[in-house]
Amino acid sequence: NGSVTLEAGKVASAFSALSGKDVLSVERLSGGSGVPSWRVTTTEGIYAARLYSDSHTTAYGQAKLLSYLAAQLYPVPEVALVDTYQAQHLLALGWVDGLTIAEALRAHPDRAEWFGQAFGEAHARLHTVPVTPEVRAGLREIREPKPSAYTAVLVHLDYHLLNVMTDGGVVTSVIDWENVRLGDARYDVARTLSILCADPSIRVLPGPLRQVVRRFRRGYLDGYEQVAGQDATTGLELFLEWAGHFMLEDLGGRLDSRAARSIERWTRWWQS
């Protein structure tokens, strides 16, 4: 439609002006973020880009965090460009080849537990990345509901099948860091489990595919515990309830009444 074409034109203009590269095409990518992602094809390569209209904090903060994670050898896209153009802030990342975990599962459902283990191990590795004072200064911390004692780590809060890439052997990249914060690692585990259990896109899958997701979920917990230890996933009830409320707020007006009631029932299950 016209608005998409107009926004694509803004992305093309900003990218071309800031990078000096000739833009061949700009295609909007699917996803639920409030700020759309675009596939930008140039004469020299392909990039994933977002154009922010708010303060420069989001674009520049994400670029700084991604560069830090890459330095810690965590698999994230390469920051290709972050700059300001006509009061808007462009963040462009190197294009990540391969399959999303969702695509890998569809292609190889028999390997569901194996993919789940790789997915879980990579998630647990994120929670071992040191939180430096500089990293802490740039991120909000989840404080409620607050466990009695915890170590604040980086929590992605959107770690799911479409945001983790694989080459079929290992996890090659974790994308979409819009929600990243600091907090107890169990917030992040609970958020991922809520998506794998209660998200409307999972609930409507036919029976055989739901079985694949269940096997994947078992693999995810096994893989996570192999890195973080078995105690890392104990006492999740408080966090699962929180994750249900987070999902309801995150999906907001995109939920129909039936889907909202389903998530509400799942959330109440975890209430003490």
pLDDT tens for residues 53-71? 877 678 999 999 999 999 9
pLDDT for res 83: 96
Q: Is 129 in a helix, a strand, or coil?
A: coil
Place of tokens 């607050």: 146
pLDDT for res 146: 66
Smallest CA-to-CA distance from 149 within 186, 191, 120, 192 is with: 186
Query: In angstroms, what is the C-alpha Rg of the chain?
Result: 19
pLDDT for res 254: 86
* Cα–Cα distance, 86 to 102 (Å, whole number): 37
pLDDT at 1 over 70: no
pLDDT at 151 over 90: no
pLDDT at 82 over 90: yes
Average pLDDT on 30-55 reads 88
Average pLDDT on 246-270 reads 92
Confidence band (pLDDT; 50, 70, 90) for 272? low
pLDDT for res 65: 97
pLDDT for res 103: 95
Between 260 and 203, the more confident residue is 260
Q: What percent of the chain has pLDDT over 70?
A: 96
